[in-house]
Chains A and B, each alone.
Chain A
Amino acid sequence: MRRARRRPRTWRRPWGLATVTWLYIAWSLLPVLIAIQFSFNAGRSRTAWQGFSFRWYWKDPISSVWNDPTLHLALTNSLRLAALTMVIATPLGVALALGLTRWRGRTATASNALMLLPLATPEIVMGSALYLVFTNLYTSIPLGRTAQLLGHVTFSVSYVVVIVRSRLLSIGPMYEEAAQDLGAAPLQAIRTILVPLLAPAVFASLLVVFAASIDDFVISAFLSVDASSVTVPIRLYSAVRQAPSPALNALATLMLLGTTVALLLAWAVLRLRRRTTGAGGRAGASSGALQDLATLDI
């Protein structure tokens, strides 16, 4: 921030760049805002505004999100999948992060590489791989919700490891060693010292996994089998080519609301942490927390 203010006076004010930036923001967000607006349309049109109504949320007795069983099912499928993925992937990833940070040796190096690979694998490759393994080798697990859950946990574990490990490295081994010097058993040291220190990272992992799972389309689509395993993104995708109504916009808006709440929660926690630890004084608590969120995913 300070750097920006000390911008040399000899250079012109960057009006051109400012304009490009604001135009970009308008281009990237306006279509979505219009889509949200049309979820409140009183008529069936998605191109002409016919007045405000909650028809497509719950008022319409047949095709609103609340009353259309297929839209309803997509929403519950998405939420259940994300919640279960979160609950399974987070402990798995935290344990893996703990193990990989302290474990030394050739097997550890190989395991570390194995953990990083999913992050670099394009979704279509992972989707095809999981599809082929469930249809040819793990045939006792049919395609559908179970296969989707297994697939989502697979791509989520690495996120958790990356988030938790960066926190582990910044904590360092001192606290844990101190606990062990004072007579704590290794597991006890983890439970009483590391786990509380890791709480913010675990919390961030939970939310990132939830958001990643709810956002996923490719893995879910490759592993879905029929109407019973349709998630919101699959529904949005397939309905575009069938008979779209503003109820679809309403469904997408509801999901956006869910992820927004989750991320606001994450932001608030990161902000609180920054305030209490006083980290990153340069950018202030709010935008510093944003920066944390921004770099979390990379």
Chain B
Amino acid sequence: MASRRLWPALAAPGVAWLLLLFLVPFYAIAAVAFGGTDPLFNAPLPEWNPLHWQFGTMSEVISRATTGDLRPVFVRTFFYVAAAMALCYLIGYPVAYYVARLAGRRRGLLLALILAPWWINYLMRMLAWVNLLQDDGYVNDALLRLHLIPNPVHWLSGNQYSVVLGLAYGYVPFFIVPLYVTLDRIDGRLLEASRDLGHGMVRTFLHVTLPLSRQGLLTAVVITALPMFGDYYTNNMLSGSPTTTMVGNEIEFYLLGSSQKEVGAALVLVLSGLMLALMAYYLVSTHRASRQVS
């Protein structure tokens, strides 16, 4: 029958597109990372045959990342992301909880306001902070007037607090929304039951709400941590200094700003491996949770 061939035929252009422009490019990272270099032009020589792959660049990058000059970069990336995630949680959870469960009549308005940063361009939001954090900007102005600082702070040249706060500011909207969706779905009767059984607000939160929102929390962490690990623009806009370099900055530098593209490609593979571990944990946990429900 014709319809048996109709469905694959409809899918074919899209599948072909993704093969050529998603899967092949992904393979190109490996081909460059495990290829050689052309000594004459000082350019990478990609190796498309996996049987001829060389692992020299990769082992060099791994040893630099574990014991060499890239180690502080990886450590820093981890701590910046961890600190920004902690801020996201401390800010995002109360906001998501309030909007989902307690906002009452104002809920529509609040939802619109917490969604607003989604459609404001990320770089515009960073540009806004670049304006505010100038040496003579509003932030220093306010802090000086409140006598919290004696002299203007240089926020925009290698200040790690600016970078961490910038990351938290940039990604917290993406943290709040998945959490909001989960908290919104929690059955209110469960919370009432907890209250009827004599639990106060805090115990109800710790023993009912928090466990029930675990999956949403995990989604929020994955959605924000993955781009944060690869972020280089927040850092470049708010600091631009080698003292705050993250892995994303190194990737951008090696791929776009140097001739050692194979080092950049190897770094992308290392970073992808780390992210894949996070992703795998998420998928296993989601799978387990959905099995528990059914």
The chain A residues found within 8 Å of chain B, CB to CB, are 1, 3-8, 10-12, 14, 17-18, 20-21, 24-25, 27-29, 31-32, 34-35, 38, 46-48, 92-93, 95-96, 98-100, 102-103, 107-108, 111, 114-115, 117-118, 120-126, 128-133, 135-137, 150-151, 153-154, 157, 161, 185-187, 211, 214-215, 217-218, 221-222, 232-233, 236-237, 240-241, 244, 248-249, 252, 255-256, 259-260, 263, 283-284, 286-287, 290-291, 293-295, 297-298
A17 in contact with B94 (CB, 8 Å): yes
B177 in contact with A298 (CB, 8 Å): yes
Set of chain A residues within 8 Å of B200, measured between Cβ atoms = 11
Provide a sorted-by-A list of 30 A–B residue pairs whose CB atoms are within 8 angstroms.
A3-B188, A7-B102, A14-B98, A20-B95, A25-B113, A28-B169, A29-B113, A31-B128, A32-B124, A47-B131, A108-B7, A117-B18, A118-B22, A124-B230, A124-B232, A125-B271, A128-B29, A129-B28, A136-B28, A150-B21, A161-B14, A215-B122, A217-B233, A218-B233, A221-B233, A237-B123, A256-B120, A287-B107, A287-B111, A298-B223
CA distance A175 to B120 in the complex (A): 40
Set of chain B residues within 8 Å of A248, measured between Cβ atoms = 127
| B83 adjacent to chain A (CB < 8 Å) | no
A132 in contact with B25 (CB, 8 Å): yes
B131 in contact with A34 (CB, 8 Å): yes
Set of chain A residues within 8 Å of B97, measured between Cβ atoms = 17
Q: Which residue of B lies closest to A2 (CB)?
A: B188
- Which of B52-60, B133-141, B284-292 is the contact stretch? B133-141
Of the residues A14, A107, A123, A295, contact of B102 by C-beta under 8 Å = A14
Min CB gap A223→B, angstroms: 11
| B251 adjacent to chain A (CB < 8 Å) | yes
A99 in contact with B14 (CB, 8 Å): yes
Given the interface contacts A17-B98, A47-B136, A186-B6, does A120 sit within 8 Å of B279 by beta carbon? yes
B101 in contact with A114 (CB, 8 Å): no
B127 in contact with A130 (CB, 8 Å): no
B102 in contact with A240 (CB, 8 Å): no
Most buried by A among B11, B110, B231, B268: B11
